[in-house]
Homo-oligomer: A and B are copies of this chain.
Amino acid sequence: MSLTVVGSVAFDGLETPFGKREKILGGAATHFSLSAGFYTDVNAVGIVGNDFGEGEWEVFKRHNINTDDIEIVGDGKTFFWKGKYEYDMNTAHTLDTQLNVFETFDPKLSENSKNARLLFLANIVPMIQKNVRGQSNAEFVAMDTMNFWIDSMKDAVIDTIKVVDCVIINDAEARQLADEPNVIRAARKILDLGPEAVVIKRGEYGAALFTNETYFAIPAYPLESVFDPTGAGDTFAGGFMGYLASQEKIDEDAMRRAMIFGSVMASFNVEKFGTERVDALSHAEINERFADFKRFTHFEEIPFERTQSV
């Protein structure tokens, strides 16, 4: 098995200017798994309640996600999040959060999950992330986090960053974490904590990859309509980590292509509610958008010479 993800499996209630869903499949580990499943074998580690039904399990099965490490609490309810997006679609306003069984989440990785080559620590309590990292034998570990943990327990977030290879966060979180308004300096400060790579997600502005020696940046896929941005960040991370898991060498070239595949996956994710679009995706569609990215970013390298002037 190649890639293990630890994080939330949830139900989401969503309101966007384009529609509404009362209770659909969501959660960071869910979005991540479905996306990564296009590239590699995935183990999902999470916890759900007895309200998690056949329809939900079917989605995981359809994408060959190994759910052996998703614990089912017989007398509990699944994590529920309800959010609303305004017209500009940039910020989610939380309307309701019911942690339910997620409050007791204390992941114990099976041998199979421990031995995956890559591990992704989706956004959960930083101490749990660190604990999971300790259980794993993965050669490449990435993590996400969020403003809530940076606000309330920054030291614990930093402790976890010190034991991972890659941090994948959005730009506001990077600035907040590094206490630095310039995002380039913020990324450098995070690199100084130990990881070999930092990926900054910038939503509609694209994404950037930093290592100590290199910098790589890409625009977002140009979408005329964003239907539901929920899970876009985890879908990006799933494409990024899933693609890396498929590659023999996790080097700069592979990470650059992984950035593109991550962005491609995120661009599909936002086209419909929840997991709907990625659930129905094909490899041909993925490769088409990958090729689009090359077209959107390519230019000829011809230095300027004053004698060219006409």
Contact = CB atoms under 8 A, between A and B. Distances in A.
Number of copies: 2
8 contacts: A2-B309, A182-B224, A208-B222, A218-B297, A256-B298, A256-B299, A256-B300, A257-B302
A176 interface: no
A290 B304 contact: yes
A297 B226 contact: no
Nearest to A203: B205
Interface stretch (A26-34, A47-55, A229-237, A245-253): A245-253
Interface in A167-200: 181-185, 188
Contacts of A41: 309
Given A283-B306, A308-B247, A309-B246, A216 B181 contact: no
A295 B299 CA distance: 11
Interface residues of A, number: 63
Q: Which 9 A-B pairs have the closest CB atoms?
A: A217-B219, A205-B205, A256-B299, A287-B303, A88-B181, A294-B301, A246-B309, A184-B222, A185-B224
A287 B297 CA distance: 19
Interface of A: 2, 38-41, 87-89, 181-185, 188, 202, 204-206, 208, 214-219, 222-226, 243, 245-248, 253, 256-257, 259-261, 283, 286-287, 290-291, 293-306, 308-310
A181 B87 CA distance: 8
Given A39-B304, A308-B246, A215 B222 contact: yes
Given A215-B296, A217-B297, A219-B219, 6 more contacts: A205-B206, A217-B296, A245-B309, A246-B308, A261-B304, A294-B299
